[in-house]
Amino acid sequence: MLNLKVEIDNNSGFCFGVVYAIEMAEEILDERGYLYCLGDIVHNDEEVKRLEAKGLKIITHDDLGELKNESILIRAHGEPPSTYELALNNNLTLIDASCPVVLKLQNRIKNSFDKKEKIYIYGKHGHAEVIGLLGQTSDEAVVFQSIDELDIETLPKSLTLYSQTTKSTDSFYEITKTLMEAGITVNSNDTICRQVSNRDRELRDFAGKFDHIIFVSGTKSSNGKVLYNVCKEQNPSTYFISNADQLDSDWFGSGETIGICGATSTPMWLMEQVKERLSTF
């Protein structure tokens, strides 16, 4: 036995936006036994499997076009206006679990668009939240996931910058600085969710306290990638896993300390499972 000393980060686990969506889904599932959800309810395959076993049916936007007279859950990432229009046309009832933080950002972007500002969104191409944000501008805003995608010479002299809620705060401020140094007037809006940026700081402290860090997250989670990198910077012996089966006892030495943490989409029960598995090494 390796007698590992294992601790789960108290600040890890679902953010309030995800808790809200999952609680809403479970309440309906308990009542009706099934519920459609547009896209993965959370970017964590293990949690999705758990909810599918209770009757959750994940559907795509194409599937949505085929449904009529049903109720559909909108997950925390939010949706563009076109989804609400489609629902109206097909007599679908949307159960809206869009996170309030995302809804507020959608409104801000819509206001900027109405004022005819030149809108740039720092976010991941094709990410559900970004599609919802872009929809507020009739898809006219420019989305970029790296400053290298922008041709600084041809950018407008004045622009409004927003961020997807789960991007890295450091990168956002770096981008703002680069644009300003190029002589561009930037109306820079740090719209990164505090559930992510605060966790960034807390994780730096946490990750430094252990011999190894096990970062638990789904591979599709945006903030999972950001927060994993935060841990890895702080503690080079950080491992990314999505479930307990991916653990390898060769990673650890006798009596070493292990910290377990995760993304805003990582369920606490999954981190508990990882802890339990470690206790068998």
Q: Using CB under 6 A as the criterion, which residues of the chain lie in contact with ligand SF4 when the complex forms?
A: 15-18, 76, 99, 101-102, 165-166, 193, 195-196, 264
CB nearer ligand SF4, residue 6 or residue 164: 164
Cα 89 to chain center, whole Å? 30
Spatial contact of 92 and 68, defined as CB atoms under 8 Å apart: yes
CB 236 to ligand SF4: min, Å:
26
Beta carbon of residue 56, minimum distance to ligand SF4 (angstroms, whole number): 18
Distance CA(180)–CA(175), nearest Å, equals 9
Min separation Cβ 262 and ligand SF4, Å: 13
Looking at beta carbons only, is 42 or 92 nearer to ligand SF4? Answer: 42
- 204 vs 275, beta carbon nearer ligand SF4: 204
Q: What gap in Å lies between CA 125 and CA 100, rounded to an integer?
A: 22
| Residue closer to ligand SF4 (CB basis): 166 or 235 | 166
Element (H, E) at 174: helix 169-181
Residue closest to ligand SF4 when measured from CB atoms: 17
Alpha-helical segments (H) within 33-99: 45-53, 61-66, 81-89
Report CA torsion sign: 76, 80, 82, 85: positive
CA angle 13, 46, 224 (to 5 degrees): 45
| Minimum CB distance to ligand SF4, residue 222 (Å) | 9
Closer of 76 and 213 to ligand SF4 (Cβ): 76
Contacts of 11 (CB under 8 A, 6+ apart): 198, 199, 202, 203, 206, 261
Least gap, CB of 163 to ligand SF4 (angstroms): 11
Instruction: Tell me which residues are annotated as active site.
Output: 129
